[in-house]
């Protein structure tokens, strides 16, 4: 049990966040105040329109009759016979 190794602490020291300077803190305060006023006044951003999908258009099916070969030949024979009369 004494042989168990403890996980080593990482040597990387966490860098403390830099303190905000006066201009940054003032800008944040103004932005949050403007947002609150806009929300109260009802001047909110309109919801963005839904994106149109960029799918390729589907091919339109042709309206051609697909008949078996024997039926086509029979129709041609019948059409030729009527044309002779």
pLDDT band at residue 19 under the 50/70/90 scheme? low
Instruction: Please give the model's pTM, rounded to 2 decimal places.
Output: 0.28
**Between the CA atoms of 70, 71, 72 and 74, what dihedral angle is there, to the nearest 10 degrees?**
90
- Of 2-16, 41-55, 61-75, which range is least confident? 2-16
Are residues 75 and 67 in contact, defined by beta-carbon separation less than 8 angstroms? Answer: yes
Residue scoring higher pLDDT (85 or 14): 85
Joined tokens for residue 38: 């806009």
Measured CA to CA, the distance from residue 28 to residue 32 in angstroms comes to: 6
Measure the CA angle with vertex 9, ends 5 and 11; round to 5°. 135
């Amino acid at each position: 049990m004494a042989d168990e190794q403890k996980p080593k602490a990482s040597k990387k020291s966490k860098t403390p966040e830099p303190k905000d300077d006066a201009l940054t803190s003032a800008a944040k305060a103004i932005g949050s105040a403007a947002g609150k006023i806009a929300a109260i006044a009802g001047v909110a951003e309109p919801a963005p329109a839904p994106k149109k999908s960029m799918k390729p258009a589907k091919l339109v099916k042709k309206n051609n009759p697909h008949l078996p070969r024997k039926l086509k030949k029979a129709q041609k024979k019948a059409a030729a016979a009527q044309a002779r009369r």
